[in-house]
Amino acid sequence: MTGISIHELGVAFSAKDGRVIAVDGVTQEVPERGFVSIVGPSGCGKSTLLSVIAGLYAPTSGHVEVGGRRVTGPDRAVGVMFQEDSTLPWKTVLENVRFPLQVAKVPKSEQLTRAQQAIDLVGLGGFERRHPAELSGGMRQRVALARTLAMRPSVMLMDEPFAALDQQTRLLLGAEVLRIWRETHQTVLFVTHDISEAILLSQQVWVMSYRPGRIIDVVDVDLPEDRDASVVATPAFNALQNRVWEVLQAESMRGFAQENAVPASGVPAS
């Protein structure tokens, strides 16, 4: 029982131009071992929603349950991966991946085996002693992925982890995430603004609206389980993409208009 259930969740905060409702009345469920993506225009509350599920941010109303337990703060069984480069530059790859295990007081020999396994899983074998400054952006996100995996979380929350990377690297890493998910079968909630990435990776796509952030459409992805990037060329994929885009287009334009009408529109949330 490590699914995620979200009950009537609302998050509001005050910004320069008044009260912003980032998340409004969201009630959704991610089944155990499911892979769900959230897409939405930039500035909708998708990252906020993820922060609340991660226990990093308290909701204004409603609550979230992970594995049947109400979220009151960060949980080590819930791994979070961030959009920004979160590798610590003074640590080597191995030290970075080990760090959460040290904090969790995992025995030392186990730390090393688990870190090594995670590093091998993301394809960074041979780079253990390198520092992040010596790695490319894509490799650093692999380090962050390995660090999250080494904790062996039952739930993975990924906040646009590949948004800062170029298209090719993003596709490659997406395929890696899918491969790893098939091996580990964690419950994954993946935030992105890339519709094709969302459809390629997940079993279900939630479309979120611009402020107030509501889930306005839920699209089940009935593509083969063992799909790879070549699925992008199929009519089924196109049909799904069109469906999501139709909903999202109107929202994105509304968000764009609103942001340009009020220049100082609060906190920009990717």
Partner 1 sequence: MTVRTKPPASRKATALPKARRTVPGLIGAVSIAATVGWIVLGGILAEAGVRAGWWEPDVLPAPSEILPVTAELLRSPDFAPDALRTLQELVFSCLFGVAAGLIVGVGFWKAPGVGRVFEPYLVSFYAVPLVLFYPVSIVLIGINQWSVITLASIMTAVPVVLNTWMGLRSVPPVYLRLAASIRCSPAQTLFRVAMPAAAPYVFAGVRLGVVYALIGTIAMEFTTAQAGLGYQIRYLYESFDAVGMYAYIVVVLGASVLLTAVLEGAERLLLRRRTVR
Query: Is residue 255 part of the contact set for partner 1 (CB under 8 A)?
Result: no
- Asked if 239 interacts with partner 1 (CB under 8 A), we say no
CB of 267 to partner 1, least distance (A): 5
Task: Decide if residue 20 touches partner 1 (CB under 8 A).
Answer: yes
Task: Say how far apart CA 234 and CA 147 lie, in whole Å.
Answer: 34
90 near partner 1, rule: CB under 8 A: yes
Q: Residue type for 69, please?
A: R
How far is residue 70 from each of residues 1, 51, 54, 61, 109, measured CA to CA in Å? Answer: 13, 14, 11, 13, 33
Q: Is 131 near partner 1 (CB under 8 A)? A: yes
CB of 80 to partner 1, least distance (A): 4
Integer distance in angstroms from the first to the last C-alpha of the chain? 32
Nearer to partner 1, 58 or 229 (CB): 58
Q: Which of residues 140 and 227 has its CB atom nearest to partner 1 in the complex?
A: 140
The arrangement of strands across the sheet holding 155-159 comes to 78-81, 155-159, 187-192, 35-39, 204-208, 215-220
Compute the distance between CA of residue 104 and CA of residue 151 in angstroms, rounded to an integer.
9
Q: Which element (helix H / strand E) includes 138?
A: helix 137-150
Residues 136-155 that bind partner 1 (CB under 8 A): 136-137, 151
Q: Does 26 bind partner 1 (CB under 8 A)?
A: no
Strand pairing category for 35-39 and 204-208: parallel
Of the candidates 5, 13, 231, 245, which one interacts with partner 1 according to CB under 8 A? Answer: 13
Task: Name the one range near partner 1 by CB under 8 A: 77-85, 112-120, 197-205, 219-227.
Answer: 77-85
3-state secondary structure of 74: coil
Task: Between 99 and 245, name the residue whose CB sits nearer to partner 1.
Answer: 99
Using CB under 8 A as the criterion, which residues of the chain lie in contact with partner 1 when the complex forms? 11, 13, 20, 22, 45, 47-48, 51, 54-57, 73-76, 78-80, 82-86, 88-90, 99-100, 103-104, 131-137, 151, 164, 267-270
